[in-house]
Amino acid sequence: MSLKAELDCAVDDAAQRLLGCVLEREIDGTAVRVKIVETEAYDQTDAVSHSYKGRTPRTDVMFGPSGHLYVYFTYGMHYCCNVTVGGSGHGAAVLIRAVEPLGSETTLASRRAGKAGVELTNGPAKLCQALGITKAMNGHDLATSPLVLVMRPRLSKKEIVTTTRVGITRAKDVPWRFYIKHNPYVSRSV
DNA sequence: AGCGGGATTTTCT
DNA sequence: GAAAATCCCGCTT
């Protein structure tokens, strides 16, 4: 099954499917692999989503095909990355909030001055910095190099914690944040 | 361990 | 002109 087809579903379902999946990043000739451990869903019907107000130059990628990278810039200094889901014409994406390095920690640390261990990738802007993801990669097809998303068998409900999203002011009570239970790289456990 | 503020620019009103 | 899907540092307990 293609990456695109697997993510062509409801945004909260896609967010849970992405847990445990692997991102393969090629940086300066080195292959770096990380596992997704925390996600949040954002849909066009959702008051806090960037796509809520319709298709604009900024949110164009969210309305495109599933399985692409949506990168946004915020707080004047940080990038955060999302995987588009829900299919063409539907403005939805899943924010990658935390990942777990699968080796290659020295390569990740080289972009995270003074940081080590879980501090390398336990937050949405941190992992973008560690993986070298910037606005230049907005719209990138995640089936292709230098950043590839590899799907994995979906986790059982027992392995997933469901809770509310972080850092938002509206729709605070929507339970669209998901993370792998007991994983040390999760940005903030309940 | 927890709280508070500053950084800094894109985006939409 | 204000808010923003955040992070880091310094100060207090």
Measured distance CA(A149)–CA(A18) in Å, rounded: 9
Average pLDDT over residues A91-98: 98
Average pLDDT over residues A54-83: 97
| In contact, A183 and A100? CB cutoff 8 Å | yes
Q: Which two tokens stand for residue A126?
A: 């941190």
Measured distance CA(A17)–CA(A81) in Å, rounded: 17
Identify residue A82 by its one-letter amino acid code. Answer: N
pTM over 0.85: yes
Per-residue pLDDT band for A104 (boundaries 50, 70, 90) equals: very high
Nucleotides of C under 7 A from a protein CB: 3-9
Identify residue A83 by its one-letter amino acid code. Answer: V
Which nucleotide C1' is nearest A54 CA?
B12
Measured distance CA(A178)–CA(A102) in Å, rounded: 20
Which nucleotide C1' is nearest A135 CA?
B10
**Average pLDDT, whole number, for chain A?**
96
What pLDDT is stored for residue A2 in this prediction?
A: 84
A72 touches strand C (CB under 7 A): yes
CA of A138 to C1' of B5 (A): 31
C-alpha of A18 from chain center: 8
Which nucleotide C1' is nearest A50 CA?
C5
CA of A45 to C1' of B3 (A): 34
Q: Which residues pair with A35 in a beta bridge?
A: A22, A100
Nucleotides of B under 7 A from a protein CB: 7-13
pLDDT at A1 exceeding the cut of 80: no
As to burial, measured by CB atoms within 10 angstroms (0-12 exposed, 13-18 middle, 19+ buried), residue A59 is buried
Measured distance CA(A82)–CA(A68) in Å, rounded: 8
Q: How far apart are the first and last CA of chain A?
A: 34
The residue among A165, A188, A159 whose CA lies nearest residue A177 is A165
Q: Which residues of A95-112 are buried (b: 16+ CB within 10 A; e: fewer)?
A: bbbbbbbeeebebbbeeb
Task: Return the nearest residue to B6, CA–C1'.
Answer: A75
